[in-house]
Amino acid sequence: MEVVEGACNKQQNGITVVEAARYAKVGEDYAARALENAVQLSMLRRTDERYFSTNDVSDVSRATKEQQPLLFRKFLQRFDPFILFVSLVGRGNTLDQAARKITVIYNIDAQHTSIQATLTSWGSFAGIIEAKKGKVVLKVETPTLSAEYIRDLLQAMEHDIKARIYIATKLGENVFGYMKQDEIDFLVKAIRTHQKDPRNSIDDAGRAFEDFLRRVIIDKQIDASRCKGVTELAECLKGGKLIDQKQLEICQGIGSIRVAAAHNKDRITVEPWQINPDAAIETILLALTMIRSIHNYVFSSVHLF
């Protein structure tokens, strides 16, 4: 947090490793690692040999020492490896098991014991986890997959990190590890805004789903440059024999709901579609289910809904 503060104070000029070491009164190797960690957490960006603060981190330079953990938490809970780490621990994995899985899923070139120590200390500093009687205890309830998933989802909406943990739990570690940061962000936004803005909530969920489908197609080396929207991308996947007819039909349904939400008036009837919050929740859940289903079908040949 001190090297980030230094970068904020340098503003347009940014900060070098040497300057960061002097600012925080630490060794240059330590400062370099801190700066790179800040880049991973999207607190800083690097250009050549200088590190610059991102727009979201400007408050750090005005924060007291007591306020820094709260600002750090803002970025940590957007860091997908940490969210998955918390989710795994919440589902009964030991810290060692969770850290080992994280290194595999995210192809991290480091000892899993080091990853465990880093994520644990970060979570403790941010107030997300705490040590009790030699064990790490989560200070945030983690939702479990059950028949009462709607209730779990509503509880997850109370806080951004709960929404992220819910998404990680529903998708599973392999699928969640495949998702990109912006896709997760769109899904989180969809969950958090479904009540006040169901129309845009559906569009955000559809955007995440669309980006996911396009990446699957690209990873399978199929040209989808002419495809627009969820339906056309799903048809491209079906044409390449990558998904089943049932999956295509559900994707077409999601695409239709998204179109209805995105346009004030229907193209044929010229009448507006009213979008209810419960429809937004159901669309988000269905999009998550299909992300999990298609990933398993395409990459593992597993038939799963």
Quick one: which of 164, 177, 175, 167 has its CA closest to 106? 177
Q: Which two tokens stand for residue 135?
A: 């064990």
- Cα 3 to Cα 14, 60, 73, 206: the distances in Å are 11, 10, 16, 38
The enclosing H or E element of 50 equals: strand 50-53
What are the tokens at 65?
A: 């020492």
pTM: 0.77
Task: Give the pLDDT band (50/70/90) at residue 147.
Answer: very low
Look at 248 and 13; give whichever has higher pLDDT: 248
Q: How confident is the model at residue 264 (pLDDT cuts 50, 70, 90)?
A: low
What distances in angstroms separate CA 165 from CA 12, 89, 188, 230, 248, one per listed residue?
Answer: 36, 11, 10, 25, 28
pLDDT bracket for residue 197 (50, 70, 90): very high
Q: How far apart are CA 207 and CA 213, in angstroms?
A: 10
Residue 136 phi, psi dihedral angles, 5° rounding: -90, 125
Least confident range from 83-97, 154-168, 218-232: namely: 154-168
Instruction: Give the per-residue pLDDT at 129.
Output: 83
Q: Could you tell me the fold of the domain covering 2-57?
A: Arc Repressor Mutant, subunit A (1.10.10)
Q: Quick count: other Cβ atoms within 10 Å of Cβ 282?
A: 15
Q: Which of 17-21, 65-69, 214-218 has the lowest average pLDDT?
A: 65-69
d(CA 228, CA 301): 26
pLDDT computed for residue 157 by the predictor? 44
| Gap between the Cα atoms of 215 and 152, Å rounded | 29
Where does the pLDDT of residue 131 fall: very low under 50, low under 70, confident under 90, or very high at 90 and above? Answer: low
Q: What pLDDT does 237 receive?
A: 96
Among candidates 191, 171, 189, 190, which has minimal Cα distance to 179? 171
The DSSP element (H or E) to which 53 belongs, if any, is: strand 50-53
Q: Domain 179-300 belongs to what topology?
A: Four Helix Bundle (Hemerythrin (Met), subunit A) (1.20.120)
Q: What phi and psi values does residue 188 have, to the nearest 5 degrees?
A: -65, -45
Contacts of 158 (CB under 8 A, 6+ apart): none
Q: Cα 41 to the chain's mean position, in Å?
A: 12
53, β-bridge pairs: 44
**173-184 as b/e: b if 16+ CB within 10 A:** bebbbbbeeebb
